[in-house]
Amino acid sequence: MSTQPSEVLNSMDSFWNDDLAKADPEIAAAIGKELARQQDKIELIASENIASKAVLEATGSVFTNKYAEGYPGKRYYGGCDYADVVETLAIERAKELFGCNFANVQPNSGSQMNQAVFLALLQPGDTFMGLDLNSGGHLTHGSPVNMSGKWFNPVSYGVREGDELIDMDAVAATAREHKPKLIICGGTAYSRTWDFAAFRAIADEVGAILLCDMSHISGLVAGGAHPSPFPHCDIVTSTTHKSLRGPRSGIILWNDEKFTKPLNMAVFPGLQGGPLMHVVAAKAVAFREALTPEFKSYSHRVVENARALAASLEENGLRIVSGGTDNHSMLVDLTAKDVTGKDAEKGLDRAWLTCNKNGIPFDTRSPFVTSGIRLGTPAGTTRGFGPAEFRTIGKLIAEVVDGLAKNGAEGDAQVEESVRSRVAELCSAFPVYPNA
């Protein structure tokens, strides 16, 4: 018998043969419709992107079948030769991409990467600081409904009422008062540049460990379109599926060897069992893509496009929280139009523009209603939209919102119909998977 892998398994091209369509037509049909939805609507959700076919192929690969508890060279299962190859490549590429000494590429998601940091460094009841959810923080940074808020003692900092920027003096004062063991910078709906050096100075003053959760901006950091949290932060976590454009997952990065054992032990066996090796393989593919000059240019275009979108929205009468954006995202304040975030999300969806309602700083409406929407440019930039297209998109959004301001929740059907047709034109000119 030949010891070489069979030719058919060597070639993924011939691997699929409409197997899913035959085995499960209902799921195959829903996946087909999801592809059509992604093609036909404009994705403005700031945390989403369009992964390459190479990333999708790795995610759908035979590594789904493999158990690989442990780390490269130290596994609890046999047959891990190729699992070691992909995980080692993922680690080496992550370190090169973000310029750090150590990486753990096993966290299954963003939430789990942050849980692992808490498990590694804090005891239940310990005090930590994070950006308030109402100012754009994440659930895992101390929300009362999240484990971080239930089992630990969060103290939050926020943005200033006047300019809606993070108030570094207030961050310092809160840190001095509460002496947190851990300070987290980074968030989900903060559109300005993070001053990591200023956070470092505060962390040093109170003896705190500094964590940056760069989930939203890691693609910009990778491409040099936002300053790097290294060397200022002790530990950096990131999802891999947002501006970084990889599979749905998380990573943990750090420089000091003293964190290696606690962090690795916290991910496995502390929180997780067998890693999702197919997703680890896809992360390696995404990191390789992010190391290219094309990705660097992409990350700068994401920011340029966000500026164009924000400017167009303002020209068309909508207020941008903090007066603009430095990154891929922005919050639009709909208060002056007396339109809720909830109605805007629905109205825009009817016009094939997908976004999410989002609280604005000092919002008086509930999180289920909100006074704002959050918009982002990573997905649109991937499909090829430039500043001209994003300026058009800003105008289309304003038309739909004005229809809602005039007619209430049902909006202006004629306007929405007309926006839909212009969205359709843009989408057909910029296919999400050109060779699909």
Mapped onto helix, strand or coil, the DSSP state of residue 211 is strand
109 touches ligand PLP by CB under 6 A = yes
Question: Among the options 43, 87, 164, 213, which is catalytic?
Answer: 213
From the list 188, 299, 329, 358, which residue makes contact with ligand PLP (rule: CB under 6 A)? 188
From the list 66, 75, 93, 138, which residue makes contact with ligand PLP (rule: CB under 6 A)? 138
From the list 49, 61, 215, 370, which residue makes contact with ligand PLP (rule: CB under 6 A)? 215
134 touches ligand PLP by CB under 6 A = no
Return the closest-CA partner of residue 232 out of 142, 326, 99.
Answer: 99
* CA atoms 177, 138, 328, 253: torsion sign: positive
Q: How far is the CB of 193 from ligand PLP (least distance, A)?
A: 16
Instruction: Count the neighbouring beta carbons within 10 Å of the beta carbon of residue 392.
Output: 18
Distance CA 230, CA 212 (A): 9
Could you tell me where the beta strands, DSSP code E, fall in 49-177? 70-71, 74-75, 102-104, 127-131, 153-157
Considering beta carbons, is residue 181 or 216 the nearer one to ligand PLP? Answer: 216
47 touches ligand PLP by CB under 6 A = yes
From the list 59, 61, 106, 140, which residue makes contact with ligand PLP (rule: CB under 6 A)? 140
Alpha helices (runs of H) in 254-335, residue ranges in sequence order: 260-265, 277-290, 293-315
Instruction: Count the neighbouring beta carbons within 10 Å of the beta carbon of residue 53.
Output: 11
Among the candidate windows 14-22, 184-192, 198-206, 390-398, which touches ligand PLP by CB under 6 A?
Answer: 184-192
Is 67 noted as a catalytic residue in this protein? yes
Q: How far is the CB of 248 from ligand PLP (least distance, A)?
A: 6
- Token code pair at residue 68: 């690989």
187 touches ligand PLP by CB under 6 A = yes
- The conformational region for residue 235 under phi > 0 = left, psi -120 to 50 = alpha, else beta, is beta
Residue given tokens 């306007």 in the structure block: 415
For residues 211 and 185, the answer to whether their CB atoms sit within 8 Å is: yes
For residues 280 and 108, the answer to whether their CB atoms sit within 8 Å is: no
272 touches ligand PLP by CB under 6 A = no
Among the candidate windows 166-174, 211-219, 269-277, 370-378, which touches ligand PLP by CB under 6 A?
Answer: 211-219
Q: How many residues bind ligand PLP (CB under 6 A)?
A: 14
374 touches ligand PLP by CB under 6 A = no
Considering beta carbons, is residue 70 or 186 the nearer one to ligand PLP? Answer: 186
Between vectors from CA 359 to CA 356 and to CA 364, what angle results, nearest 5°?
Answer: 140
Dihedral Cα 92, 197, 154, 358, nearest 10 deg: -80
Considering beta carbons, is residue 38 or 112 the nearer one to ligand PLP? Answer: 112
Is 248 noted as a catalytic residue in this protein? yes
Q: How far is the CB of 132 from ligand PLP (least distance, A)?
A: 13
Instruction: Count the neighbouring beta carbons within 10 Å of the beta carbon of residue 224.
Output: 12
Question: Among the options 59, 140, 237, 239, which is catalytic?
Answer: 239
Considering beta carbons, is residue 166 or 339 the nearer one to ligand PLP? Answer: 166
Is 239 noted as a catalytic residue in this protein? yes
Q: How far is the CB of 249 from ligand PLP (least distance, A)?
A: 7
From the list 52, 111, 193, 418, which residue makes contact with ligand PLP (rule: CB under 6 A)? 111
Interface of this chain with ligand PLP, residues 220 to 259, rule: CB under 6 A: 239
191 touches ligand PLP by CB under 6 A = no
From the list 75, 93, 200, 216, which residue makes contact with ligand PLP (rule: CB under 6 A)? 216
Burial per residue of 63-77, b for 16 or more beta-carbon CB atoms within 10 angstroms, e otherwise: beebbbbbbbeebee
Q: Containing H/E element for 395?
A: helix 387-407
186 touches ligand PLP by CB under 6 A = yes
Binding site for ligand PLP (CB under 6 A): 47, 109-111, 114, 138, 140, 186-188, 213, 215-216, 239
Catalytic (active-site) positions:
67, 69, 213, 239, 242, 248
